[in-house]
Structure formats: structure tokens, C-alpha cells
Chain A
Amino acid sequence: MSTATLGTDTASKPRLKTSAMIASIAAEGQRTKPAPFGHALVGLAKRRPEIVGMTADLAKYTDLHIFAQAYPDRFYQMGMAEQLLMGAASGMAHEGMMPFVTTYAVFASRRAYDFVHQTIAEENRNVKIACALPGLTSGYGPSHQAAEDLALFRAMPNMVVIDPCDAHEIEQVVPAMAAHNGPVYMRLLRGNVPLVLDEYDYRFELGKAKLLRDGADVLVISSGIMTMRALEVAQRLEADKVGVAVLHVPTIKPLDTEAILREAARTGRMVVVAENHTVIGGLGEAVAGTLLRAGVAPVFRQIGLPDEFLKAGALPTLHDLYGISTDAMAASIKGWL
């Protein structure tokens, strides 16, 4: 610690890591694309005049402002009122519109759950819900960390649940959401979104898992940003002569059980499910149930967020702490081998 008088020698103090809200989860130097959701929606809306955009005072923070600028007469600001947002979206869909509804994942899954459940899912309305800050992508603490959104929406009948990995995938998910007739929940990555899957000749298909790379020793089954981490881990472990396969499962529901069982049944590989979500009720337990019901019993490990209220802090710090950074994930897998 500096002994200098406060305020006169700040340069010598260690720079504190910030928990401030960030516009992008991209690592420094990573390739990115700006606002893929907003741009994809604008492109789609040209061909689908029934699309309207609705938000609860978070257009700017969910990239819906791009749609609002392109189609001001098709954009509905519902105020900071998520229950109204969901109910009104149901009413719009009742009249033949296709609302794309945005807010934060915490508010859609927790504040407005009954309204999504009853006015959208139970009535099977054609509403698309796209929510920013999924899982642990905010340093603000539990108020903004949607650690349980997948579990909540997975449990809801009629609801399709998608956890895309990167900008390349989001661009393809948006038209796929529209092509599906019924309610869909999508985890939204906003701002400058990492660009990864374009290098893997990847195409998103609703309900399909895709093997992005093969490997003889470990099968990582992952969704969302954890697929990006898994691909980095696989490259690193290659140097240690450990073969890591990565099965990307962006559609959490309906789950591609066929692909999961096919890959998990290959003998001799440890199965690691990696998700940016609490270990309760998400992809990990969905895969575990799939394997158990089919009598497939590989060595099974889970990487995910613990069953506790997560801390506030800088995201890289928190991702290391809770084991979902590339470093932490690589260390966990090496330790399990």
C-alpha cells in the first residue's frame, strides 16, 4: 500500500477490476460483430411485416434500438413493466402479429414468469422472447445474473429454449425463431458479440446439436458461451495430447437426445457438460436424465454455476471463481482425467 496522502499518488495503486456493466462479453482482441440480434431482426422484418418489437425500457440494452430506428411504427415501448410486456405481447400475437420481446433474462424469467406461463405458453401464442444478460454475464450480483433462466423456461410446456454461442449463430437463430410457430425463449448476447462458429462451417438448425470437433478422450456437451470456452479448451489440451470433442447443443428444448446419446455412447470418453447456468435444472441435468433413461453411463462431470447467490465483481474474476472461464474449465478437465 502506498503511504502517500490519499489522492496524490493514485498512479501507484493497483488498478481495481471493475464490476461495471459491460456492453460486450468479448475478450480483448477477439473477433466480434456488432448487435447481431438487432441487425438480423431488421433484415427479417423486411420480409415479415407481422413482426413487431416490444420492450420494457431496455431497447438500448438489448440491441432492439436498431429495430426501433429502422421501424419506428412497429416498435412498442411498454415502460419498465415486464408483466405488461408479456401480456401485451400475447395480445399482439392474438391479433396475428409476431412480437419479438426483449428485456433482461432475470426479469423475463423471474419477474414475469406467470405472465409468460399463462398468457404466452399456455395459450401457445407466437411470441419470441429474447433476453440479454443470460447466466453469469453481468457483474452486478444476483439482481442481474440469470443463473436459473434455462431451468425455469425448460420447465414450461410449449416453450422452445435456445442458448446461442456467438454472433454467427444469433444471425441464424432469429429467422429460425420466426419460422417456428409458437413461443420461443432465446438467450441474447448484445453489443459486440464474439464471432467464433463461422470458422467451423456451422449452421444452426432448431432442435439440432452439432459436433464442432471430434476427440478421443473427452466429450464436452455445451451451449451458449460455454461452447466458445470448450473450443478454446480443446485447442489447449491438444498440446497435452488430450483429445476433446465438442458437441454444441444450442437448443436446450426440445433437446437433441439422439445426437447426445450417439456421442455419449462412444466408449472411453468422459462426458463433461458445460453451461453458463446453475447446475440445477439446466443442460447438465437434462443430459444426465437423457443418459440415465437410455442406460448410457459414461464418467459424467458438470461445469456450471453453483447453487448459491453469485458475487458481484468483474466478469473475468467471477468466471474464474465459478469455474466457467477457459482457464478454470481446462484445469477442471485435466484434474478429472
Chain B
Amino acid sequence: MDTAIDTTPLGHNVPLAERAYRIRRNALLMGEVQGQGYIGQALDIADVLAVSYFHAMTYRPEDPHWEERDRFLLSNGHYAIALYAALIEAGIIPAEELETYGSDDSRLPMSGMAAYTPGMEMSGGSLGLGLGIAVGIGLGLKRKNSASRVYTLFSDGELDEGSVWEAIMSAAHYKLDNLIAIVDVNNQQADGPSTQVMAFEPLVDKLEAFGWFVQRVDGNDMDAVVAAFDAAKSHPEPKPRMIVCDTRMGKGVPFLEAREKNHFIRVDAHEWQLALDALDAGRTA
């Protein structure tokens, strides 16, 4: 298994933990711009995005439509703040645009949309769309005999949507081994803990029964996430691949990790700097 950090397209080598730190920092800075944002989710998924953009995926930052790139579909459009943070870190979006987040005429709207942002491959916001689009992209890539893969990130709450299961059935039917789906199990959706809103466990058993190659990892354990992405890419069976990532909302900022869990974590105006300080403290620790 290759766990070396391959950042060839970027031409420089930075440890993944540092990438994840910088993604979290970008997200906090954007949250501060608007005084709000889905910051709990951005912090929980930063490690997965660091592995996606700085270990697993092939792309050219200067050419977001490069035909041979791997595609990344953000199904949970409210995680846009997290993806922008990663796209900035990847050099796809200029860092100067960070301060426009959520403002009029910005390319960084608060809910992700394809037409607005380089590197945003789909319009999310309405949950349960991404996996179905990913099936079509997987089929399209196979038609073109492309070696590219399609990655899609979705949230545990989206498991409530019937369309997600339509896509899960069809991806296995069409043996889409070029599709890697990542589900963020932070166990938090709009009305409460996801497992209480609508029970979805045992998730691994269900997905395996549907014909997928499934791994479940601690989504905030960098080594485990790297290993899971590597295994998803190299797995020999002609099956679609699912990585179930258990994550902690607010990860990296202890006082937000400890805050009463909520889909939309409240951060007071004076707390953004405290959060950045706490993140920095964790980095040097």
C-alpha cells in the first residue's frame, strides 16, 4: 500500500496534517466573514478533504476542467465552506477570494453551485442528488474508456433520501468500480442525531448487501483515511466503493467539539478568533 504523500500535480510536498490544518483555518476565516456557516461540518470533514485533494485525486489546479482529472461531487452543498477551503488550499481558487465568501457577486456562495465556482462539479443544496449524478458520470467515464474516477461526498442525513438508495442499487448493477463514495457520519442532521431522526445502522452491512466494497474508518484518523482511500482505489472487485467516515463535528477546535451538538453550530462574534487560536494551539501541540 502506498501511503506516501503524492502531491505531484502541485509540485510540492506538504504533510497531510498540515493540509488539514490549513483547510480548517480557511474554513474558520470564511465563517468569520459571514459570522456563520456550517463550520462544525467543515471541521469534521477537513481530514477527508485533505486526503482527497492531496493524496488520492489527480487534477490540475490551473485547469479545473482538465479531461483526465478525477471528479469530486459535493452532494451535501451546505459543506461548500469546507470544499472552498480545500479548493483554496489546492490552488484551484485564489486565496484572495476567501474574504468574499457568501457575499454578493462572490464565486463562493454559501451553498455550492456548479456554475459559480471552479472545481465545483455539481449544484448541491437539495440533498440526495450527488450519488445519482455520480452514477451517470461513472457510466460516462466508462463510455469514454477514461481512467478517471468520480468521488462523491454525502452526509449521513442524506441516507434518508430514497434517491440515494436508487443510486446505490444502480452503481452496483453497473459495477461502477470507478465510483468512490464517502459518507460523513457525524450523526447530526437538521432535527437532531441522524441515527435518531431515521435509523440507518447497520450501515456497513446494508451497503455490502447492496453489492458495494465498504470500509468504515475514523474520519479524523489521517492514517486510517489514507489507507481507506488507497484500498478503495486498488480494490480488485468490480464493485462501487464506499468509505463510511465517522467524524466529530468541530474537530480541531476543542470548545466547538464540546459544544452541544447541533446541525448548525452557533459561534459568537468574539469566538472566531478564539477558534483560530485553539486550532493553532492544536497544530503546535
Contact = CB atoms under 8 A, between A and B. Distances in A.
Interface of A: 52, 76, 78-79, 81, 83-84, 86-97, 99, 114-115, 118-119, 122-124
B20 to A, nearest CB: 29
Contacts, number: 100
B148 to A, nearest CB: 9
Given A122-B123, A124-B115, A90 B136 contact: yes
A79 B136 contact: no
B123 A118 contact: yes
B221 interface: no
B132 A91 contact: yes
A92 B162 CA distance: 21
A119 B132 contact: yes
The winner among B134, B137, B141 for most chain A CB atoms within 10 A is B137
A63 B133 CA distance: 25
B123 A91 contact: no
Given A84-B132, A115-B129, A118-B129, A96 B140 contact: yes
Interface in B45-100: 71
B143 A97 contact: yes
Interface of B: 71, 113-115, 121-123, 125-126, 128-129, 131-141, 143-144, 146, 150, 162-163, 166-167, 169-170, 173
A-B complex: 7 closest residue pairs judged by Cβ atoms: A91-B136, A87-B132, A95-B140, A88-B136, A84-B166, A81-B166, A91-B137
Contact of A52 (B115, B137, B143): B143
Contacts of B136: 87-95, 99
Given A52-B143, A87-B132, A94-B137, 19 more contacts: A79-B166, A83-B128, A83-B132, A84-B132, A87-B129, A87-B131, A87-B133, A87-B136, A88-B135, A88-B139, A90-B122, A91-B139, A93-B136, A94-B136, A115-B163, A118-B125, A122-B113, A122-B123, A124-B115
B223 to A, nearest CB: 32
Contacts of A115: 129, 132, 163
Nearest to B125: A118
A78 B132 CA distance: 10
